[in-house]
Structure 1
Amino acid sequence: MASSFSSMATQAPQESMALNELTYVDGDRKKKKRVGRGIGSGRGKTCGRGHKGKKARGGGSVALGFEGGQTPFWRRIPKRGFTKPNAKPLETLGLNKVENYIAMGRLNQVGTGPNGTITMKVRNCRGATTTTTIVSSFRYFRH
């Protein structure tokens, strides 16, 4: 250990680097494989594409999800869920508005925790309003 420190002390100070003098280290960047340059190159003739077929042609690639003619996976699995035809539209209601309604007295403090903080129970709208209904149903967000 001591010898390496002593050798560092005896070295001459290096010159400062300039951005225009920076170069890559040998082997740092991989060279692009050149194809179609004879059989001796290992990537000649068919250039690694095999013989014939759509993927061997220029610009040829199968569509996303295509599985060679068999029914693709996304068509084999069943659809899930449905859209309710009589669904009530939800309105977005921020917690800051809920706090304002409670402060104004338009909303009971149903579902408030200690210190008057709004909890998750506020989203149960049943019995949460006093004189007027603010919204029929709502989803809340934090910020």
Structure 2
Amino acid sequence: MRLNDARPQAGSKKRRRRVGRGIAAGQGASAGRGMRGQNSRSGAGTRPGFEGGQQPLYRRLPKLKGFPIVNRKEYTTINVSKLNSLTANTEVTLISLKEAGIITAVAGPLKVLGDGELNVPLQVQAAAFTATARSKIEAAGGSCEVV
């Protein structure tokens, strides 16, 4: 086989459709664009996203304000200042706080935040601590345990 013998596969090459060249060509008169209307005319059509005067989709939708975190972790939060009312050396858990009436709703695992002051040594068991909460609990003579 030589380079001048190379031919495309039989049936792989289709001829270009010549539109608007008479009835015999199969695409005569309206050239496959239909009878009337905006899209049958020559020249540029409409801009992308134009819906014929209807409010377009990109204007019907609200503007995005960032993206939500998928499978976001919900915590039951409590500040260190709320733990001041407990007695010294108490073991603090999510259940004990609910029983004591310090928290009312349980939205998920307990997270201790560092707002306020703590003067009582406590043994706190929680899923998460902020850095300030951990330092304030340990400064008061208590301990932090991640459950």
TM-score bracket for the superposition, by shorter chain length: 0.3 to 0.5
TM-score (norm 2): 0.41
Structure with the higher fraction of residues in strand conformation: 2
TM-score (norm 1): 0.42
Higher CA-based Rg: 2
